[in-house]
Amino acid sequence: MLVATACVSTSLCAPAFAGPEEQAARIHSRITGVKPSVGVLTAMAEDIANGNADAAAYRAMENDAFYDVTLKNLVTPWTNRDGDNFAPLNDYTATVIGMVRDDVDFREILSGDIIYTGASGLGLPAYSNSNNNHYEELERNGYPLQTALERQTQSSVTGLPGDATAGVMTTRGGAKAFFYAGTNRAMFRFTLVNHLCRDLEQVHDTSRPPDRIRQDVSRSPGGDSRVFQNNCVGCHSGMDPMAQAFAYYNFEYDVDNDPTGEDGRLDYNRAGETDPSTGTRVQAKNHINSATFPYGYVIPDDKWDNYWREGPNLHLGWSSELPGSGNGAKSMGRELANSEAFAQCQVTKVFEQVCLRAPEDSTDRNRIANMTDSFTGNGYKLKQVYADAAVYCAGE
């Protein structure tokens, strides 16, 4: 088969190994998972023949399957600790899908006062802070998410103070998954995994000072202090100062009668509220197991600091326009979402989903770098990433 030499895209085109109609069918399939209608296929092929494959990709994204299947399959594993792709629709999933639909700056996923609910007039149960019925009914009725979602603010829907909202991290779905039990470190760890494509092992750095490591971390696990110095410090010295941003949050549920928290709700200690166990706004869960090492750090507030702005994790590409410290989840979310690692992570995930493979060689890696530049330089719109990836892989 001959390789076409003409560029078929106005932005990130790829060598074409097929004619316009075959490329159109491939783009549509990669983006939606379904075949296009005859009319859509003809229009997409014309776009490609006229040198505008991006327009063809955007036509494909008008299909409901892009939202109901492709985006839902991308986002759903982010919403739970097991990475379950079959978890029910919830406010976390719906919010990401709505943001993509509306070309919202994708960095808002970790800091915005934003939430997507089912549109009014669909006859759905009202949004509830203590159950997921609204979204499960939306999914059960099969409403197309492209038209069924309505953008609102978290502060108006959930009652959370606007300055305490932090995108999907403060949705009920996010709280149920990652503020559940524990010490809220899970929220930080899974945010790294899902949105920076790094687990703690990949940011392990024993050169950071351990002064913010909490009391619940043993300094001599198994009686050997070397384990702490060579292993525990590598994660906790960077994680604990950042996870402090979540000090005022908890997911409250009935441990005895509702052990999985199906009827639980996000709890946030507002200004003026005091936790009886800590005597401050800090949730009691942050002080558990304090006898493990009584001389460890005691969280007094929600001030966070990014110790990874120095040392090997400098390569994550932290923004020079941000101070690297602050109070609360919103500003910490901005810190993460403005990193180069965040942008690269979104682009790589979309590439792998659309191209049905991981990047394989320098050509792929260069393409991902170009796609990342386009993503960050044009308002962090994820639909553009889908278009770029589909066009690149259309000729395979």
The pLDDT tens digits of the residues spanning 25-38 come to: 999 999 999 999 99
- Residue 18's pLDDT is 76
315, 344 contact by CB (below 8 A): no
325 bridge partner residues = 305
Mean pLDDT of 301-312: 98
pLDDT over threshold 50, residue 6? no
CB under 8 Å, gap of 24 or more: what pairs does 224-228 form? none
- Residue 53's pLDDT is 97
pLDDT over threshold 70, residue 14? no
**How many whole angstroms separate alpha carbon 53 and alpha carbon 278?**
59
- Residue 395's pLDDT is 75
Mean pLDDT of 261-276: 97
Angle between helices 53-60 and 382-393 (to 10 degrees): 120
pLDDT over threshold 60, residue 162? yes
Burial class (CB in 10 A: 0-12, 13-18, 19+), 41: buried
In whole numbers, what is the pLDDT of the chain averaged over residues? 95
Task: Please report which confidence band the pLDDT of residue 17 belongs to, taking 50, 70 and 90 as the band edges.
Answer: low
321, 338 contact by CB (below 8 A): yes
* Alpha-carbon distance values, 84 to 16, 80, 201 (Å): 36, 7, 22
Query: CA-based Rg of the chain, rounded to a whole angstrom?
Result: 23
- Residue 56's pLDDT is 98
Mean pLDDT of 334-359: 98
Mean pLDDT of 176-202: 97
**How many whole angstroms separate alpha carbon 64 and alpha carbon 66?**
5
User: Of 13, 3, 7, which is closest to residue 50 (Cα–Cα)?
Assistant: 7
Instruction: Name residues whose C-beta falls within 8 Å of residue 301's C-beta, 6 or more positions apart in sequence.
Output: 244, 247, 280, 281, 282, 327
Supply angle C-alpha 142, 156, 275, rounded to 5.
115
Task: State percent of the chain over pLDDT 90.
Answer: 95
- Residue 158's pLDDT is 98
- Residue 396's pLDDT is 65
Least confident of 39-43, 231-235, 392-396: 392-396
Give the chain's count of helices (H) and strands (E).
17, 6
The domain segmentation of the chain, as residue ranges, is 20-62+341-393, 69-164, 182-307
pLDDT over threshold 60, residue 198? yes
pLDDT over threshold 90, residue 141? yes
At 245 the three-state DSSP class reads helix
End-to-end Cα separation, the chain, in angstroms: 11
Mean pLDDT of 83-89: 97
User: Of 388, 329, 325, which is closest to residue 354 (Cα–Cα)?
Assistant: 388
pLDDT over threshold 60, residue 4? no
